[in-house]
C-alpha cells in the first residue's frame, strides 16, 4: 500500500460486491478514483496503449518483489470513456494443507505428504577426512545424505560417503547435530550403517519392496544437495530396473535407474516410492565431467535397490560385518604389462602379502606368487579376483592356480569369513625401497623380491 498526502482517502466494505472499496480524491479536484480487491474472476482485459502496459509492468514487479499477500493479481486499466478507474482483482487461495502420514503401501502419497512425513527421517552427513598429497597431509570435509532406520539412532548411507572419515557428524532436520560412529560398511555394494549413541525417539523410514518397482513409477528423494542445500526434495520416475553399473573399482552393481535429480551430496539418501516407502539408496549419476566432446548427459541417476542390501544392513547392526562373506587374507597387485615383459610373467594378480593364520597361508599361497585362476575363472586384475572370490561363501572350497618360479602350481583353498568387510586390497605397483607390514603379512614390491632385497 502506498500513501500520498495530497489525497483524501475513504474506504469501506461493499456488501453487494463482497469487496473492499478504496477511494481517494486528489485535493482540490472533484474526480474520484477507485480500485477494488475482489474475489470474482476478472473480465477479459481491454486493449490498452503502451503507457498502460508500462504501469501494469511496474505494479506487477512491485507485487512480486514485495510479496504483500497478493496471491495472484491482474491489473486492468480502464482508459476509455470518462472512467479513470484502476481495478485490481485478487484471487487469494488458502495455503496447501499437507497431511503427515505413515507409509502403509496401500495409499499413495503426494510429494508434499512424503516430504512432510519423512523429511525428519532424513539426515545430512558431514565427514572430516585427511588427504595425503605427496609428503603433505590435508584435512578437509566431505558431505552426503542418509536416512534413519530406527528410533534409537541407526542410520543408513553409502559407504563412499564415509570412506576414510576420521570423524562423522549427523545433522537432523531440526538442525541438531550429533557425533556418529561407523557400525559397519561394505565397499563393494556401497552401503554403510552409522549409529548415534544415547538417543531415542527418532522417526524411522518405512522400507518397501524394490523388486516390485516398474518403469514409469513415481519416485522421489530428499538429500543434502551440493552439501549446502540441505533437505532438498527432487522427484522423477523409474527409468529402468536391473541396470548393471560398473563402479570405479571394476565392481558391477545392480541398480535402479531414475531421472530423479541426484546431485553431489545426495549420495546415501533415500529413494521413496509413491507410497512413501524407501525402495533404494541414491548412489550415483552419469556425468561427462565437463567433457564438451562427449554426449550431453541429463537425468540419468542410480539407486541401490533396498532388497539387495537389507540383509547386509541387518548383519551390520547385529554383528558389525556381513556374515558369510569369503576372505582370502592377502594383499595383491595386478601384474602390469611392463612387469610381464621384464620378467616373462603371465597376466595375473601378484601376491604382495599373506596374512598369518589366513586360509591362503593354510593353502600354501606365498608372497611372490601370481594368481592366474580361481576356481574356473581366469583372473588378471584384483577386481576380477574379488569378483571370482565373491561367487563363494565362507567355508566353501575351490582350487587356486598360481605361477611360481616359472611353474604353475595348483592349490586347494577353503575360504575364511571376512569380518571387516574389505576386499582383497590392491597395492600401488610403484617400486618401494623398503618393506612394510600390510594386514599382518609382509609386503614386498615385485622389484625388491626379484632383485633379492
3-state secondary structure of 430: coil
For the chain, the residue count is 453
Query: CB count, 10 Å around CB of 267?
Result: 26
Written as nine digits, the cell of 434 is 623398503
Residues 280 and 208: their CA atoms lie apart, in Å, by 9
Q: How is 181-249 classified by DSSP, letter by letter?
A: EEEEEETTTTEEEEE-SS--------B--GGG--TT-EEEEEEEETTTEEEEEEEEEEEEEEEEEE-TT
CB 220 within 8 A of CB 114: yes
Residues 353 and 305: their CA atoms lie apart, in Å, by 35
Query: CB count, 10 Å around CB of 257?
Result: 20
Q: Is the dihedral of CA 192, 195, 196, 199 positive or negative?
A: positive
- Comparing C-alpha atoms, which of 65, 71, 114 is closest to residue 92? 71
The Cβ-side half-sphere exposure at 13, using a 13 Å CA radius, reads: 2
Residues 227 and 183: their CA atoms lie apart, in Å, by 23
Residues 110 and 119: their CA atoms lie apart, in Å, by 14
Q: Is the dihedral of CA 289, 294, 298, 303 positive or negative?
A: negative
Which residues, in sequence order, are CB contacts of 41 under 8 Å at separation 6+? 89, 91
Residues 267 and 284: their CA atoms lie apart, in Å, by 7
Residues 262 and 286: their CA atoms lie apart, in Å, by 10
Residues 61 and 452: their CA atoms lie apart, in Å, by 81
Query: CB count, 10 Å around CB of 86?
Result: 18
Tell the residue number behind the cell numbers 507485487, with chain if given: 63
Please state, in angstroms and as integers, the Cα–Cα distance from residue 310 to each residue in 180, 196, 415, following that order.
21, 20, 24
Which residues, in sequence order, are CB contacts of 18 under 8 Å at separation 6+? 38, 39, 40
State the catalytic residues: 160, 190, 267
CB 22 within 8 A of CB 8: no
Amino acid at each position: 500500500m502506498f500513501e500520498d498526502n495530497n489525497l483524501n482517502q475513504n474506504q469501506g466494505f461493499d456488501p453487494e460486491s463482497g469487496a473492499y472499496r478504496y477511494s481517494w480524491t486528489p485535493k482540490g479536484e472533484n474526480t474520484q478514483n477507485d480500485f477494488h480487491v475482489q474475489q470474482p474472476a476478472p473480465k477479459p482485459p481491454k486493449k490498452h496503449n503502451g503507457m498502460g502496459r508500462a504501469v501494469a509492468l511496474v505494479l506487477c514487479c512491485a507485487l512480486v518483489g514485495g510479496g504483500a499477500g497478493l496471491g495472484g493479481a491482474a491489473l486492468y486499466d480502464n482508459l476509455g470513456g470518462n472512467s479513470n478507474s484502476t481495478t485490481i482483482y485478487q484471487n487469494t487461495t488458502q495455503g496447501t494443507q499437507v497431511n503427515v502420514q505413515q507409509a502403509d503401501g496401500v495409499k499413495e502419497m503426494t510429494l508434499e505428504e512424503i516430504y512432510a512425513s519423512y523429511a525428519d527421517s532424513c539426515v545430512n552427513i558431514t565427514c572430516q577426512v585427511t588427504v595425503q598429497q605427496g609428503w603433505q597431509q590435508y584435512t578437509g570435509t566431505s558431505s552426503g545424505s542418509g536416512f534413519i532406520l530406527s528410533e534409537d539412532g541407526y542410520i543408513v548411507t553409502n559407504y563412499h560417503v564415509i570412506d576414510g572419515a576420521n570423524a562423522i557428524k549427523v545433522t537432523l532436520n531440526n538442525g541438531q547435530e550429533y557425533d556418529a560412529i561407523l557400525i559397519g560398511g561394505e565397499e563393494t555394494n556401497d552401503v554403510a550403517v552409522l549409529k548415534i549413541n544415547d538417543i531415542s525417539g527418532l522417526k524411522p523410514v518405512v522400507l518397501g519392496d524394490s523388486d516390485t518397482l516398474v518403469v514409469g513409477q513415481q519416485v522421489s528423494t530428499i538429500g543434502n544437495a551440493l552439501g549446502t542445500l540441505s533437505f532438498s526434495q527432487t522427484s522423477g520416475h523409474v527409468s529402468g530396473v536391473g541396470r548393471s553399473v560398473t563402479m570405479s573399482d571394476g565392481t558391477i552393481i545392480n541398480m535402479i535407474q531414475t531421472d530423479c535429480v541426484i546431485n553431489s551430496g545426495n549420495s546415501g539418501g533415500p529413494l521413496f516410492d509413491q507410497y512413501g516407502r524407501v525402495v533404494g539408496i541414491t548412489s550415483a549419476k552419469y556425468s561427462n565431467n565437463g567433457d564438451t566432446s562427449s554426449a550431453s548427459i541429463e537425468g540419468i541417476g542410480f539407486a541401490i535397490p533396498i532388497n539387495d542390501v537389507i540383509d547386509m544392513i541387518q548383519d551390520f547392526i547385529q554383528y558389525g560385518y556381513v556374515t558369510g562373506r569369503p576372505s582370502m587374507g592377502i594383499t595383491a597387485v595386478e601384474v602390469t604389462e611392463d612387469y610381464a615383459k621384464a620378467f616373462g610373467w603371465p597376466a595375473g594378480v601378484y601376491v604382495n602379502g599373506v596374512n598369518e593364520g589366513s586360509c591362503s597361508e593354510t593353502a600354501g599361497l606365498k608372497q611372490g606368487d601370481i594368481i592366474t585362476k580361481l576356481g574356473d575363472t581366469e583372473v588378471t586384475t584384483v577386481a576380477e579376483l574379488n569378483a571370482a572370490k565373491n561367487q563363494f561363501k565362507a567355508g566353501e572350497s575351490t582350487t587356486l592356480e598360481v605361477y611360481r618360479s616359472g611353474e604353475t602350481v595348483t592349490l586347494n583353498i577353503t575360504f575364511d569369513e571376512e569380518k571387516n568387510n574389505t576386499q582383497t586390497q590392491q597395492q600401488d605397483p610403484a617400486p618401494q625401497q623398503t618393506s612394510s607390514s600390510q594386514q599382518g603379512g609382509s609386503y614386498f614390491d615385485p622389484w625388491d623380491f626379484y632383485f633379492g632385497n
